[in-house]
Amino acid sequence: MTTKKDAAPIMAAKDGDALGSRGGKTAAAVEVPAMAAPEPSVATEEKAAKLGPYVAYAFRGTDVRADIRDKYGFDGELLELYASGTERVVNKWHHYLPLYDRYFARWRNRPFRFLEIGVSRGGSLDLWRRYFGPEAVIFGIDINPKCAAFDGISGQVRIGSQDDQAFLARVVEEMGGIDVVLNDGSHQMPHVHKTFEVLFPKLSYGGTYMIEDLHTAYMRRFGGGYRSSDNFFNFTRRMVDDMHRWYHRHGEHRSDLGPECSGIHIHDSVAVFDKDRPFAPTHSRVVRQGKS
């Protein structure tokens, strides 16, 4: 994928560090020559299993805008911001763009607090600044000390680990609270769990917590697996049970998290959690006066 120019060579990460610079690692870049994007097939799925999805599903066309617009019917401003590129590299799965706009558009051009976990090469913070506008408080965290070079450009950057509870608390305090979290960090299942457990309680009511690249939940090298108890989607199912605590007698898995989760949305590799004040469900029956 590229965001500098549609016809530029595609830079894809090698399989060993398939998701970019996370957890102190920096992916090596390899050029993928432009060619027609392959249609999904059994062969493509087998290639993904062998090489990793980041390499197997890399965009090999020449028009990023057209690919996103034609496949997902999305033609919003965020598409133009992404496809036109920034001064620094930004890399996104194409189906994420309409999801970002669906869940983040209401925060545009207003004061709010946005935390991105995983700074990588700095381009994502540039994209969010252009998308959200000047009133947004934007912070990014990364364990890689080199990311400090992006501090103060499009947002504030703090160096530390996403599974360090004290570090996360300091960042949130400096921000004055958080309204939106985007977790694009190490993708290690223990980190994904820990970060959610620390930050979701600190999220403001009405806030949004998005985790991306959750295809890693099925990969052992990220601490997951299809049947693994550490697969984050198994945790998500327990959150669904807690949301429906009113209707069963099995108690709550996480009384510190579930009661304030008002909605869960699952997409390909993406989970979105809404936070709001909990109220017991109520129903009523109404009819116009004089009717029975």
For the question of residue 215 being annotated catalytic, the response is no
CB atoms within 10 A of CB 14: 14
Q: How far is CA 221 from CA 16, 19, 89, 125, in A?
A: 10, 12, 25, 27
Catalytic choice (94, 95, 187, 193):
187
Contact (CB, 8 A) for 175 and 203: no
d(CA 46, CA 113): 41
Question: Quick one: how many helices (H) and strands (E) in the chain?
Answer: 9, 9
Decide: residue 167, CB within 10 A, 0-12 exposed, 13-18 middle, 19+ buried.
Answer: middle
Q: Tokens 């090469």 map to which residue?
A: 121
d(CA 47, CA 60): 15
Contact (CB, 8 A) for 189 and 217: yes
d(CA 81, CA 172): 28
Q: How far is CA 200 from CA 196, 244, 283, in A?
A: 5, 18, 29
d(CA 244, CA 229): 21
d(CA 4, CA 15): 23
Catalytic residues: 187
